[in-house]
Amino acid sequence: MYKVTITDLLKPIVPEEDILNKNDANLIYGDAQTENDLIELTKDADAIINVYAKLTPRVINSLRKCQVIVRRGKGVDSVDIKAATANGILVVNLPDLGNDEVADHAMALLLCSLRKIIEANEHVKSGQWDFKRFLPIPGLKDCILGLVGFGRIAKAVAKRGKCFGLSIQTSDPFVSNEVVNKYGAKLVPLDELLRSSDFISVHCPLSEETTSLLSTREFELMKPSAVLINTARGPVIDEEALINALRSRQIAFAALDVMRKEPPDTNAPLLSMDNVILTPHLASWSENSMRVAGETAAAEILRVFNGYLPKSIVNPEVIKTKQYLKQED
């Protein structure tokens, strides 16, 4: 029987266990708190399902027989791809997971910040009733939404933004004007996007190139009324620079589903700021998306166990070492 280890304690909301058990694979749940715990948990796994735990080079180098690591999500920054590749381990992600959910969440954060929903709710519940306190509020049709990155989620946000009457622009070095124009958006350099956008929503993956992509210089380019939204990865934003920009009112507001450290320290400055909305990295979660995530993760692992290549390989250079795996029809 194959052994599949899931690195994070997600019970009872994962469907993988039943699917794998019916296919001669045993799912082991883990809740490793340290690197040593993770090594002990995964060392003899035939496959790994990873959510948040960091699969470092030391962890990956300790794997004895792992064939595939499935990142139960879109981003793969929790997995050291170089180490996995060097060890001949396929790394797989779920590129379509939660696209609609994240897009919905980004729009919800945008609307809450524009309409001042959180502050107004607290105002009324405290026994007050003065709408003038929350003015001015611009109309959405007068605003520009700037999307940093234009992948699947950003495209979904663009569709939603157009329905609300927003003007859409994006900055992404890997897409063409032709692609962007299909979504009624405009392709612009990042600096121009930062200068002219009323809402700036981050949708780029985390990499060496995008770490602290938005820092002091970038905040200085933004409008004093700008709202920054991040449903991608926390480290894309220089958090200290963001705190300074918010404190000095260099920008008006931030709405964040992700942070540099998750969960944050209890004394983290962003937690006590009145011009910040925070949610706990829940943008991609819905009953449907988590069911699909589990089913897809299990299916990718079973493809490998049954002698086939998985569908979404992050490190395709490993394929040449897996000549026994066939392309699925």
What pLDDT digit, counting tens, does each position of 266-291 carry?
A: 999 999 999 999 999 999 989 899 89
Claim to verify: residue 18 and residue 113 sit in the same structural domain = no
Euclidean distance between CA atoms 148 and 162, whole angstroms: 16
Q: What is the pLDDT of residue 13?
A: 60
Whether 165 and 145 map to the same domain: the answer is yes
CATH number of the domain residue 32 falls in: 3.40.50.720
- Out of 123, 152, 195, 281, which one is annotated catalytic? 281
Are residues 36 and 113 both part of a single domain?
A: no
Q: Which of 40, 262, 291, 328 is catalytic?
A: 262
Average pLDDT over residues 196-214: 96
What pLDDT score does 51 carry? Answer: 87
Identified catalytic residue from 233, 260, 300, 303: 233
Same domain, 27 and 123: no
Q: What's residue 193's pLDDT?
A: 98
pLDDT at 112: 97
Q: Is residue 326 part of a domain?
A: no
pTM of the prediction? 0.89
- Same domain assignment for residues 126 and 93: no
Same domain, yes or no, for 66 and 128? no
* Whether residue 12 is found in the same domain as residue 119: no
pLDDT at residue 161 is higher than 80? yes
Higher pLDDT, 325 or 199: 199
56: left (phi over 0), alpha (psi -120 to 50) or beta: beta
The answer to whether residue 114 scores a pLDDT higher than 90 is yes
Kindly state whether residue 329 falls inside one of the protein's structural domains: no
pLDDT at 12 over 70: no
Is 233 one of the catalytic residues? Answer: yes
Average per-residue pLDDT for the chain: 95
Q: Which domain holds residue 23?
A: 2-97+286-321
pLDDT at 87 over 90: yes
Residues 151 and 267 in one domain: yes
- Least confidently predicted of 16-30, 53-67, 247-261: 16-30
What's the structural domain count of the chain? 2
Checking if the pLDDT of 69 tops 90, the result is: yes
The whole-number pLDDT of residue 52 equals: 85
- Is 40 labeled as catalytic in the residue annotation? no
The per-residue b/e assignment along 288-301, b for 16 or more CB within 10 angstroms, e otherwise, is ebbebbbebbbebb
Active site residue 281: yes
Q: Got the DSSP string for 3-25?
A: EEEESS--TTS-SHHHHHHTTTE
In a domain, 327, yes or no: no
